[in-house]
Amino acid sequence: MWAYGKADWEAVKSHLQTFSANLVSDQGTPIPVNELWLTIKQELLQTMPRLIPSKQTSPQIRVPWITQDIRALLRKRNKLYLKLRKVRANFDQHSQNLRTKYKALKSLVQKQVRRAYWDYLEGMLNMDPDPTDYRPKSNTVTKKFWSFIKAQKTDSTGTAPLKQNGILKSDPLEKAEILNQQFQSVFTDEDTQHLPDMGPSPYAPIANIHISTEGVFKLLQNINPSKASGPDSIPGRLLKECAREVAPALRMLFQRSVTTGQLPDDWKVKAETVGILNPHDWTTFWVLFDEGHVEVGQGARVGLRRFLYWHFEQPYTIRAVSVSNGYGFSGDWQLNQFEGRHDCCLWNCQIE
């Protein structure tokens, strides 16, 4: 995790300003769009570890009612448990004292956690002193309350029953077919063979698009730094803090992309999925998810014939893996075998 509050922003801005000036002033052979993007991306990513400190964050989920005092008790309880494990086979006086002390501390921690939990709920439900005004104290309280209620939900209702021809359908396959028919019905099948002649356009041709540095600077200033990075792993905080310095380099990139009609390879979504699935044939797929990236491929071993890849700087939790049909396609998935562990899974499936 980047510690932006301790970053040397003056050094970062000075370095990126020099880089942008050298890149823009280079009047040699025009750099291709993809190479130009990789140069800017590499410079931004290499500048961060040199001038912005980082810190390791705990992967544990922290609940808001656990205070520092309770965390201290939890650490003390855990240390005492480790000591008790070493002498659990003994029945001398020292071991008995450790067991008694551990049980008492465990009971105290449970009481403190329960008390803190209910105090937290009471704080969210607390109303204004005026008995005639039952509005919450602020929007923050309302948001915290409903976020807590949503987190307590354990059931997933999914799509409600749908009605077709006066009959209520609750089967998942029937509901999917109803929605598919509804989506297809909104599209019009145009007659492209007999198009009317509209004559010459009354509007003047569009002029050449010119991208200004100030326009790029304004867009960079509007970036929300609290949002996650995109597939390029460049944080929004870096782009916003150094908007003035990186705007000339990005303007050069955008202008060349518009002029040549080309996009960097990183901006294109590639999925070589042709022929990976044949109807009525059982096919094995693998999914690997670890350290902020997800890979999908075809084969009985992880790493074979990868056709999809995503990578993000911040790791995230994979809670579900599923298969589905693309829009406009119908068929029933059948699962023959599934194997999974904490970082990857394999399944053998077919579609009919």
Summarised one tens digit per residue, pLDDT across range 193-238 is: 888 888 888 888 888 889 999 999 999 999 999 888 877 889 999 9
Indicate if 294 and 243 belong to the same structural domain: no
Indicate if 107 and 255 belong to the same structural domain: yes
Q: Which of 173-177, 283-287, 311-315 has the lowest mean pLDDT?
A: 311-315
Tokens 């100030």 belong to residue: 214
Structural domain contains residue 170: no
Structural domain contains residue 117: yes
Strand partners, 333: 351
Q: H helices of 87-138, where? A: 93-125
SS3 69: helix
Neighbours of 57 (CB within 10 A): 8
Compute the distance between CA of residue 175 and CA of residue 191 in angstroms, rounded to an integer.
Answer: 31
Structural domain contains residue 180: no
Indicate if 8 and 49 belong to the same structural domain: yes
Structural domain contains residue 156: no
Place 280 in a pLDDT band, splitting at 50, 70 and 90: low
Which positions ≥6 away from 153 have C-beta within 8 Å?
A: none
Indicate if 246 and 295 belong to the same structural domain: no
Tell me what percent of the residues of the chain surpass a pLDDT of 90: 27
Which positions ≥6 away from 288 have C-beta within 8 Å?
A: 294, 295, 296, 302, 343, 344
Structural domain contains residue 274: no
Q: What is the largest CA-CA distance in the chain?
A: 102
Indicate if 69 and 146 belong to the same structural domain: yes
> What pTM, to 2 d.p., does this model score?
0.49
- The domain in which residue 86 lies consists of 1-150+209-268
Indicate if 215 and 342 belong to the same structural domain: no
Which positions ≥6 away from 211 have C-beta within 8 Å?
A: 251, 254, 255, 258
Compute the distance between CA of residue 65 and CA of residue 232 in angstroms, rounded to an integer.
Answer: 36
Q: What tokens appear for 83 in the block?
A: 């000591």
Backbone phi, psi, residue 143, to 5° = -65, -45
**CB distance 200 to 7 below 8 Å:** no
Q: Tell which residue, 303, 297, 302, has the closest CA to residue 283.
A: 297
SS3 198: coil
DSSP-derived letter for residue 58 is P
Structural domain contains residue 204: no
Q: What tokens appear for 133 in the block?
A: 């005004």
Which positions ≥6 away from 277 have C-beta within 8 Å?
A: 283, 351
Compute the distance between CA of residue 329 and CA of residue 334 in angstroms, rounded to an integer.
Answer: 16
Indicate if 229 and 295 belong to the same structural domain: no
Indicate if 255 and 289 belong to the same structural domain: no
What mean pLDDT comes out for the span 111-136? 71
Indicate if 345 and 215 belong to the same structural domain: no
Indicate if 41 and 145 belong to the same structural domain: yes
Structural domain contains residue 166: no
The torsion angle over the Cα atoms of residues 271, 327, 329 and 317, rounded to 10 degrees, is: 60
Neighbours of 289 (CB within 10 A): 19
Number of domains in the chain: 2
Most confident listed range (14-23, 129-138, 273-282, 294-303): 14-23
Structural domain contains residue 168: no
Indicate if 106 and 240 belong to the same structural domain: yes
